[in-house]
Structure 1
Amino acid sequence: MFQNREDAARQLAARLVGQPLKQPVVLGIPRGGAVLAAVLARQLGAEFDVVLARKLRAPWQPELAIGALGEDGRVQLTDFAASVPGATRAYIDTEREHQAAEIRRRQALFRTVRPAVEVAGRSVIVTDDGLATGATMLAALHVLEAHTPHELIVAVPVAPPETLAHIAPHCDRVECLIAPPDMSAIGAYYADFTQVEDAEVVRLLREAAPAP
């Protein structure tokens, strides 16, 4: 059990401290992942930023991801997406457009505060407050691999073993603190899982932005 996202980030940092990293940058998937990334970056002496990806929600169970969309516009569908009732091609196209609009909104909001950092040739640590299907993380990794980082490291507090196994081939290594085989909702592993608002992400980005 983690006290909050900051506590989870500090525990992750303890796992990563001392590892050889090349000009490290820590990227969080907003909104919750941005809080972890900011703390991780401070603990590791790394640069902080966000990477944008949005899950594609199942028709009758919006907490379930049937896929995800990265800010590069590519869709990653889960293996079970085709078997989800109501997840027709028309539904997926509509959901994709909805999430693309949200990504554009966040780009306009967050990138006004801070342009995206350069990741080429660097150790890139990607974090979120937990993984369920891993679809959103996969979408984020596909966005980043196109920018030729030195290495991609996924660092998360909690995720089921099957998701970690699915993620592992798409990055150089995975760091996860808890991997419960019968994992429940991510929030169940936090004493405080208060929703993170856009204003908090903006504040974190502003604090991390270099002085003009």
Structure 2
Amino acid sequence: MGELIEDPSLRGKRWVFKDRVDAGRRLAETLKAHVKQGDLVLAIPAGGVPVGVEVAKRCMLELDVAVVRKALFPWTTEAGFGAVAWNGRVFLNHEAMEAYGLTNSMVESKVEEARRSVERRLKELRVGRKPLNLKSRTVVLVDDGLASGYTMLAAVEACRDEKPTKIIVAVPTASVSAVRLLQPRVDLIVALNVRGGLIYAVADAYVEWRDLSDEEVKGLLYGFWKKNFS
């Protein structure tokens, strides 16, 4: 069971971070005691990239992207019944599939759609850069928050396939249910703002919240890589 490190003064509160950059800086301060040279950050696009860049920069760690795409229900562009990770790993929420009566053909179609999206995003963001080797290293998976936790779970399982020494999940904010889902599967969770209740939204932790464009995400990644590994 992975340990949870949180900020008790932020428990249950909303609007505790100015924006993702502020959240990344504060997350890095807590993480510094738990990482070392040679560890690496995997940021989940899009929202996890500005957070991950700040963590990697301030903890002086390498940075790569962990591209994960939801397998979406056919009638929505937001909610998913599973996810596909950058190495092809597929995670399915069978309870959700059964509850909503998804057929095998629906599942196969939406998983393939997510797989193509992952491949396309990897090419766009890495632009020829080789993925970092995770074997025998400590990996810090970063996102801007955890609602259900299933996207992060897919990332965790994909990481595990590559045999890292240790997996840390680091997020500014998380729901209690997401923490409980992930704790048995990782070594450490750092979630500064943990919130319970029936309704949880990642955006509620931020004063300034907006979607990031692909160009913004690319700019953040390329800027970091050029400055640190050119």
TM-score, normalization by structure 2: 0.85
Instruction: Name the CA distance, whole Å, in 2 between partners of 1:7 and 1:78.
Output: 33
Instruction: Name the CA distance, whole Å, in 2 between partners of 1:22 and 1:3.
Output: 29
Q: CA RMSD in A?
A: 1.7
Match of 1:198 in 2: 214
One-letter code aligned to 1:37: G
In the TM superposition, residue 79 of structure 1 has moved relative to its aligned partner by 5.1
Instruction: Name the CA distance, whole Å, in 1 between partners of 2:136 and 2:144.
Output: 26
Q: Give the conservation status (yes or no) of the 8 Å contact 1:28–1:126.
A: yes
Query: What percentage of aligned pairs have identical amino acids?
Result: 32
1:155 matched to 2:170: yes
Match of 1:40 in 2: 55
- Report how many aligned residue pairs link the two structures: 211
Structure 1's unaligned 5+ residue stretches are: none
1:55 matched to 2:66: no
Instruction: Name the CA distance, whole Å, in 2 between partners of 1:22 and 1:152.
Output: 15
Q: Give the conservation status (yes or no) of the 8 Å contact 2:74–2:110.
A: no
In the TM superposition, 1:98-117 aligns within 5 A as 98-112=113-127, 114-117=129-132
In the TM superposition, residue 57 of structure 1 has moved relative to its aligned partner by 1.9
Q: Deviations over 1:32-81 (max 9, x none)?
A: 11111101101111111111111122334442232111122222122531
Instruction: Name the CA distance, whole Å, in 2 between partners of 1:79 and 1:73.
Output: 18
Instruction: Name the CA distance, whole Å, in 1 between partners of 2:99 and 2:77.
Output: 12
One-letter code aligned to 1:27: L
Match of 1:73 in 2: 88
Q: Give the conservation status (yes or no) of the 8 Å contact 1:59–1:86.
A: no
Instruction: Name the CA distance, whole Å, in 2 between partners of 1:22 and 1:149.
Output: 15
Q: Deviations over 1:158-199 (max 9, x none)?
A: 121121111112211111112211242211221111211211
Instruction: Name the CA distance, whole Å, in 1 between partners of 2:111 and 2:55.
Output: 31
Structure 2's unaligned 5+ residue stretches are: 1-14
CA separation of 1:194 and 1:105: change in aligned 2, threshold 3 A: same
CA separation of 1:76 and 1:28: change in aligned 2, threshold 3 A: same
